[in-house]
Amino acid sequence: MAMSLKKITAIAVGGAMVASALASGVAANVVTVGDIKEFMKNVVKDGEPNVDIVVGSKAAAMDVVSAADIAAKIGSMCYKDVSIEDGSADLCLDTSADTTLSDDLNDVYKNDNGNYFLIFTTPKRSYTDNLGDADILDNLVDDKANVTTGSKVQKLPRLSTLIRDTDADPDDVSSDHSADAMEFLLASVKRVDKDNYEIDKGDLVYGALMFKDGKYTVDELQPLYIGMEIPLLGENYRIVDVDDNDKKIYLGKEAYSGNMEEGETYDLGNGYQVKIESVLQTVNNNEVKVNVEIIKDGKVVATKDDSIPFVLRYKDIGVIVYNAYKNIAETEGYASVIITKDVKEYELGKEFVNDWKLYAITREGNSTVGYSLKLVDNDFSKESDPLAKTKYLEVGGNKVYGLALKYDGDKYDNLDSGSTVDFANDYATLEFTDDDESGKLFARYKMDISKEVSLNIGEKTEVLGTTLELKDIKAEGQRVVPVKTPVAKLDTEASLDTDKYLILVGGPVANKLSEELQKEGKIDITNDSPATLQVVDNRILVVAGGDREKTREAALYLIENY
């Protein structure tokens, strides 16, 4: 699996910025070698970055994000004269990855002219192996796999840039407080004859599925609950609400989640605020009612006074109230809320984006594999769960385990080497290639994804599977100041022979420059090494560990402590 870093840039509007992945709970057992503090004093010179950040050309997505976070950290160090309390930053991350190649389609399906096979991938091999069965996947596409030779499913083990969210219930609103969510890609391909394949309308599916914590199989799916996160086309959204007895679902971006005291307001910007007006508890304490208001320029524009849980929506704002309580003296009340912005309405069976329709994913019994997945577009309902804080979703009387986009455009025909088929919003591509081998044809999934996000101070968002938060802004004055953030380079584009300081992300396995230092005996990073920050020759800082998680730990420690 190859990964390349196209660019990592950060542009601040209203001041310089610092964006960093949330690092709460970062372990303190990071090995430091050399004077890290002194090194960091030299990475900025005369207000300009004086350092190159280098990441491996085949590095894991986690290393790419670490490089982005360190770049933003360096950018934030360029201006330190005056702290300001408001402002925003625009971030752009661009990464790419591809799967391994499929079997030689010309060979394995040479006797299957006119028949169909599936091509399937996920972000993790365990998902692909457990779900990659035609009996599980067939009902997601219009044309089921019916080849008589070779595998009915070409299982391409993993595409690393697809999202895998290991805590899709950060506020513990569901019956599984640490549910996992992941994205998948599926195509049903018809072999016409050698070097001639087709994909028809209804035979491409992009989807996101929810699983119980640490599970991978179709019988261990987790229903969707109001307030949970779900990834869609590379970004995480909160499930804000659905209309009962209708096909509409409301998805938004998290602005705030946590507890708010009676009388407290949260400022959403643009004159909008959310206020907890009151929290009332019945005498026998078996019912709690909360009054919540949405305010625009000091005027209440929407309000709801109801028993928990409930949702208040107004324009593109959604407030989920899922818990409430009084203090011991019963003098103050508190409400647990999820406040969302940019809320949009989508309808099952209708276009989500051009040529791609939205469906809910349910499952039905299957005598061979236990359950098979199914796409439906019936009316929603919200159902109560005594073990949960919010309600779960059903469609047509069946629990909803995910959302999917299904292709509804023109047929792709005459597919051969060099042909590509794009998924929704060009999020991913199915590519056919002979891999420079005459007479052969392979397939693989590819992604070359760029995500731009705009954050105000204190806001956070999910981008490419990581949480970014704009902590604060540093600027020389109350004027527009461009951030001079260093651009991360690939190890194939950089050299140890440079006048600049260097920060190398990744050990000798992941980064060629780190490998050079290892061969010279200047570092000793092995698969068993802890998270490590090591200064070499006073001008190189190696940020690494025995694996990608340890490297990430070292990067977060650097960002937090220096």
Mean pLDDT for the stretch of residues 212-220: 96
Torsion sign, CA atoms 376, 426, 455, 159: positive
Determine the pLDDT at residue 34. Answer: 92
Radius of gyration, CA atoms only, the chain: 25
Q: What are phi and psi of 309, to 5 degrees?
A: -85, 155
Cα angle vertex 138, ends 105, 431, to 5°? 35
Asked which of 16-25, 242-251, 435-444, 461-470 is least confident by mean pLDDT, the reply is 16-25
Determine the pLDDT at residue 283. Answer: 57
Give the span between the Cα atoms of 296 and 293, in whole angstroms.
10
Domain 249-344 = CATH 2.60.98.40: yes
Determine the pLDDT at residue 14. Answer: 28
From-to residues of CATH 3.40.50.12090 in the chain: 3-8+22-71+479-561
Residue 103: is its pLDDT beyond 50?
yes
Query: Following DSSP, what letter does each residue of 243-258 receive, concatenated?
Result: -TTSSEEEEEEEEEEE
pLDDT tens for 254-306 read 999 999 999 999 999 889 999 999 998 765 666 889 999 999 999 999 999 99
Amino acid identity, position 314: Y
Mean pLDDT for the stretch of residues 100-106: 98
Residue 387: is its pLDDT beyond 60?
yes
Cis peptide before 123 (omega within 30 of 0): no
> Does residue 388 contact residue 399 with C-beta atoms inside 8 Å?
no
> Does residue 73 contact residue 485 with C-beta atoms inside 8 Å?
no
Topology at the third CATH level for domain 3-8+22-71+479-561: Rossmann fold (3.40.50)
Residue 64 binned pLDDT confidence (cut-offs 50, 70, 90): confident
Residue 562 binned pLDDT confidence (cut-offs 50, 70, 90): confident
Report if pTM > 0.75: no
From-to residues of CATH 2.60.98.40 in the chain: 249-344
Tokens 């290393």 belong to: 63
